Amino acid sequence: MYGKERSYRPTSSDAEIKFKILRPQEIPIYVADGLYDLGITGLDWVLETSVDVKILLNLEYGLTKLVFAVPKTFEENSMGEMIKKYSSENKILRISTEYPLSVSKYLVSLPEYRQIYGETKPLIITPWWKTGENREIQVYLSFGATEAKPPEEADAIADVSETGTTLEQNGLKPLDVIVNSQAVLVANKISLSDKMKREKIYDIVALFRGVIESGKKLHIFVNVKEENLEKLVSLLPGLKGPTISKLSKPGWYAVNTIISRSDYIKLLPKLRKLAQGLVVHEPQLIMPLEDIAREENGEV
């Protein structure tokens, strides 16, 4: 995919695929409504919008947590404690967030909330509408800079955090984790029922899976004497199993296979003792085509 730096419409070598760059908040809705067949967005926004899309793939980047946070000076260490404190003092608990629906659902799930407020929902407040019955807990829609809201505009916030650094710099401490999020590939369900679109969609899934898997693997080649071959092969995993070929020199074999990056350091001392001529490549794509075919056929 390529395009001009400020373009919202990058292109690719596949003329059948059209791209557009949009905000992650919008993408789940547009995909669910059929304006687009596929989209990349955050799991947090899929849950916040509550749309009916198919999550095809966790893309394993953009790892974040949607967390509650309060000023460090607060003694409370959970939202349950915050709810109990503010209720006992007859104070309104105000929360600022870009995720009002997720926050409301989470609060209602807490035993402390249900014990005090039953099944009533927190009051969600936006510039255009209000919803919810419980005016003792008010959730304000934030338009950014959420960490700056306490203590004047909010008692607590709910925001995404990768490392906690931004919270720390703004004098806040994290409390509950509402959801762990990452980038996901989502599809319109009607598009998946169209044979032509479904094939193209799973071509794209295969490419993404290939990139994700290649980042976790190494492709190794080794030469080994026949007397060490069986022992070496027993150590090596592979997509189906190591590939073994005879060398031109009698009594020697070439072995190549795919291993996990995390296993490489553990295997290296054993490879040094059993093999000769180790070559290691970083693969660009590793596609588990059988797994993808089963997914496409609805077998998993």
177 plus 189 within the same structural domain:
no
Residue 291's pLDDT band, with cuts at 50, 70 and 90, is: low
pLDDT (average), residues 55-67 = 94
Residue 290 maps to a domain: no
193 plus 55 within the same structural domain:
yes
Q: Write the CB contacts of 29 (distance below 8 Å, at least 6 apart in sequence).
A: 49, 51
CATH number of the domain that 248 lies in?
3.30.70.120
Q: What is the pLDDT of residue 123?
A: 98
> Among 282, 279, 275, 276, which Cα is nearest to 260's?
282
70 plus 173 within the same structural domain:
yes
Residue 300 maps to a domain: no
141 plus 275 within the same structural domain:
no
Instruction: Point out the domain boundary residue: 190, 215, 240.
Output: 215
27 plus 160 within the same structural domain:
no
Q: What is the pLDDT of residue 3?
A: 54
Report the alpha-carbon distance of residue 290 to residue 113 in Å, rounded.
Answer: 47
Residue 77 maps to a domain: yes
Q: Name the percent of the chain in helix, strand, coil, to the closest 5.
A: 35, 30, 35
- Count of all residues that appear for the chain in the document: 300
Residue 160 maps to a domain: yes
12 plus 97 within the same structural domain:
no
197 plus 249 within the same structural domain:
no
pLDDT over 70 (residue 239) = no
97 plus 56 within the same structural domain:
no
pLDDT over 70 (residue 205) = yes
> Among 44, 55, 145, 165, which Cα is nearest to 100's?
44
46 plus 91 within the same structural domain:
no
Total domains in the fold of the chain: 3
Measured over the CA atoms of residue 63, residue 69, residue 71 and residue 73, the dihedral's sign is: negative
Residue 288's pLDDT band, with cuts at 50, 70 and 90, is: low
> Among 293, 19, 41, 30, which Cα is nearest to 186's?
41
> Among 107, 109, 133, which Cα is nearest to 120's?
133
137: containing domain: 64-181
Q: What is the pLDDT of residue 275?
A: 85
Q: What backbone phi and psi angles, to 5 degrees, belong to 92?
A: -80, 130
Report the alpha-carbon distance of residue 78 to residue 240 in Å, rounded.
Answer: 48
pLDDT over 70 (residue 214) = yes
CATH number of the domain that 141 lies in?
3.40.190.10
**189-204 confidence digits (pLDDT tens):** 999 999 999 999 999 9
For all residues of the chain together, what is the average pLDDT? 91
Q: Which two tokens stand for residue 169?
A: 């710099």
